[in-house]
Structure 1
Amino acid sequence: MEKHITLPLTEALAKTLRAGDTVYLTGTIYTSRDAGHKRMCEALARGEALPFDPTDATIYYVGPTPAKPGAVIGSAGPTTSGRMDAYAPTMMSAGARGMIGKGARLPEVVEAMKKYHGVYFGAIGGAGALLAKCIKKAELIAYEDLGAEALRRLYVEEMPLVVIIDCEGRNLYEEGRKAYLDSKKG
């Protein structure tokens, strides 16, 4: 099913999404990769606040390239999500609900998604220049020393994504593989 979603990704909104849905996301998202996630989780462990309110937030696993003159951002393709698997349950326990990346997730992340009603969106790897066209504003908010891995607040319009894993744990990668194999039994 095709859905146009305006963020934030509330629990009620997350519950309407199903693995396999095509989604066009509009609103504020945050960027972070493993180095930024590590710092955020360390801050949470110390009882410190994060550089943004994680409640119902969506985090895009991306390290964008520098913007060309006149551009909002450079190429902004997804990073392999498995690099954030060690941190994703902690981020969800702090309130973050949406994750955008590419690739499979560990069972512990899927269990945390079910517990906290999280959603994992897949972005197309190799399409960073096209995805960057959906980004209308970009602002550095923390960890500037991390360069491309610094935390940014982005405003996106109609960012094309697919729900890979929904908040009930349905996984498009597993369901798609099973449907394909079942079709070959024939």
Structure 2
Amino acid sequence: MPVERTDGEIRISAPLAANDIAQLKAGEHVRFYGTIYTARDAAHRRMLAAIEKGEPLPVDLDGQIIYYVGPTPARPGRVIGSAGPTTAMRMDPFTPKLLELGLKMIIGKGGRGPVVRQALQEHK
């Protein structure tokens, strides 16, 4: 089940559907399980260019989650460096099209512009 509530914990795993998202309320703490795709503005730019050319994306975004992450290089002996959220508004030019393709959840920091807020309402 994509959204599961057990023992006071909310667990989320993709792919998600609109009715899964409707169960969630702002401010709830959730735990993510499974695959979450990461992408920043350069990756979004490449995805939009591929879409405009009619090329397939490397992954099917329908029901998926994207984390706007700014990773740092791994320290010696580590697999990954720290990975914190990056400013979501930088992805605003690309987000409506990705939502249209079925993207269901976005993790980032900061606000979103009116075009993205409208697209989020249209593509629940």
Using structure 1 for the length normalisation, give the TM-score.
Answer: 0.59
What one-letter code is carried by the residue in structure 2 that aligns with 1:100?
A: I
Give SS of 1:113's match: helix
In structure 1, what is the equivalent of residue 71 of structure 2?
Answer: 64
**Cα 1:67/1:39, change in 2 over 3 Å:** same
Name the amino acid aligned to 2:70: G
Q: Distance in 1 between matches of 2:90 and 2:78?
A: 28
AA in 1 matched with 2:55: E
Identity percentage of aligned residues:
50
Larger radius of gyration: 1
2:35 maps to 1:32: no
- Deviation string 1:111-156 (CA, Å, 9 cap, x unpaired) is 1111111xxxxxxxxxxxxxxxxxxxxxxxxxxxxxxxxxxxxxxx
Structure 2 match to 1:10: 17
Partner of 2:120: 113
**Residues 1:84 and 2:84 are matched in the alignment:** no
Report SS of the residue matched to 2:36.
strand
CA contact (8 A) 1:5 1:23 kept: yes
In structure 2, runs of 5+ residues without a counterpart are 1-7
Q: Which letter maps to 2:93?
A: A
Name the structure with the higher strand share. Answer: 1
**How far off its partner does 1:94 sit?**
1.3
Structure 1 unaligned residues grouped into runs of 5+: 118-186
SS class of match (2:51): helix
Query: What one-letter code is carried by the residue in structure 1 that aligns with 2:92?
Result: D
1:141-180 maps to which residues of 2 (within 5 A)?
none
Among candidates 18, 21, 26, match of residue 19 of structure 1: 26
Q: Aligned residues, how many?
A: 117
2:51 aligned partner: 44
RMSD: 1.6
The yes-or-no answer on 1:100 pairing with 2:115 is no
Question: What secondary structure is seen at the aligned counterpart in 2 of 1:50?
Answer: coil
| TM-score, structure 2 as length reference | 0.86
**Counterpart contact for 1:2–1:21, Cα < 8 Å:** no
Please state how far the C-alpha of 1:99 moved relative to its aligned partner.
0.5
